Chains A and B, each alone.
Chain A
Amino acid sequence: NAGVTQTPKFRVLKTGQSMTLLCAQDMNHEYMYWYRQDPGMGLRLIHYSVGEGTTAKGEVPDGYNVSRLKKQNFLLGLESAAPSQTSVYFCASRLSGTNEKLFFGSGTQLSVL
């Protein structure tokens, strides 16, 4: 059981470039999330999904898009990267809502120059 796997682990982009972060889970979880972690800001929710084919905006969705075409995968896209998107990105999943715990990936360190 791999749990929650994020790729890549590190990436450096130039302003205006695009990229996609992949999150994969093998636990048959319904709910998946993308958070960003910034010093002094804690974890902030970007987008989330409560099931295959569904997505919803979180607290800081601007500049990001997501897709959940398969239950096990949740993709986070940056169409035109900006320095303000330099952050550590965490994917998480859980079986359902209702007090279920989150399982986190190991994070992606993204730098936008």
Chain B
Amino acid sequence: AQRVTQPEKLLSVFKGAPVELKCNYSYSGSPELFWYVQYSRQRLQLLLRHISRESIKGFTADLNKGETSFHLKKPFAQEEDSAMYYCALSDSGYSTLTFGKGTMLLVSP
């Protein structure tokens, strides 16, 4: 069975500090991985997906198949980055997404 693990419930950093939100997955096939974000009083929305190799709002994530990880990184955190972040894994048929339990990021001034 596929599984997504986000080991930190809460990550608190100061503005300007680097951020790394951890995501590890368990999956036997070739994974499709995503990061979704939920800002306060807003809908869940896609932040980035590994296949696009994109950088959104300064965030990047690299798929490491050897370590089965897809950590989300940003070199300099901003207060507006405070939100709940979910890592998600797509199944082999691309029908469903399995989400991790989420990490709340708090960026203090």
Contact = CB atoms under 8 A, between A and B. Distances in A.
Interface of A: 31, 33, 35, 40-45, 48, 50, 56, 58-59, 90, 92, 96-99, 101-102, 104-107
Contact of A102 (B51, B93, B97, B101): B97
A59 B98 CA distance: 9
B36 A99 contact: no
A39 to B, nearest CB: 9
B95 interface: yes
Interface of B: 6, 9, 32, 34, 36, 43-46, 49, 51, 86, 90, 93-102
Nearest to B41: A106
Given A41-B101, A42-B86, A42-B102, A102 B46 contact: yes
A111 to B, nearest CB: 19
B98 A45 contact: yes
Contacts of A33: 96-97
A102 B94 contact: no
Contact of B51 (A44, A99, A106): A99
B33 to A, nearest CB: 10
A42 B99 contact: yes
A42 B32 CA distance: 19
Contact of B49 (A41, A43, A48, A101): A101
Given A40-B9, A48-B96, A97-B90, A105 B49 contact: no
A98 B34 CA distance: 12
Nearest to A107: B43
Contacts of A107: 43
B43 A99 contact: no
Contacts of B86: 42-43
13 contacts: A31-B95, A33-B97, A35-B99, A42-B99, A42-B102, A50-B95, A59-B98, A90-B44, A97-B93, A97-B94, A98-B94, A102-B36, A107-B43
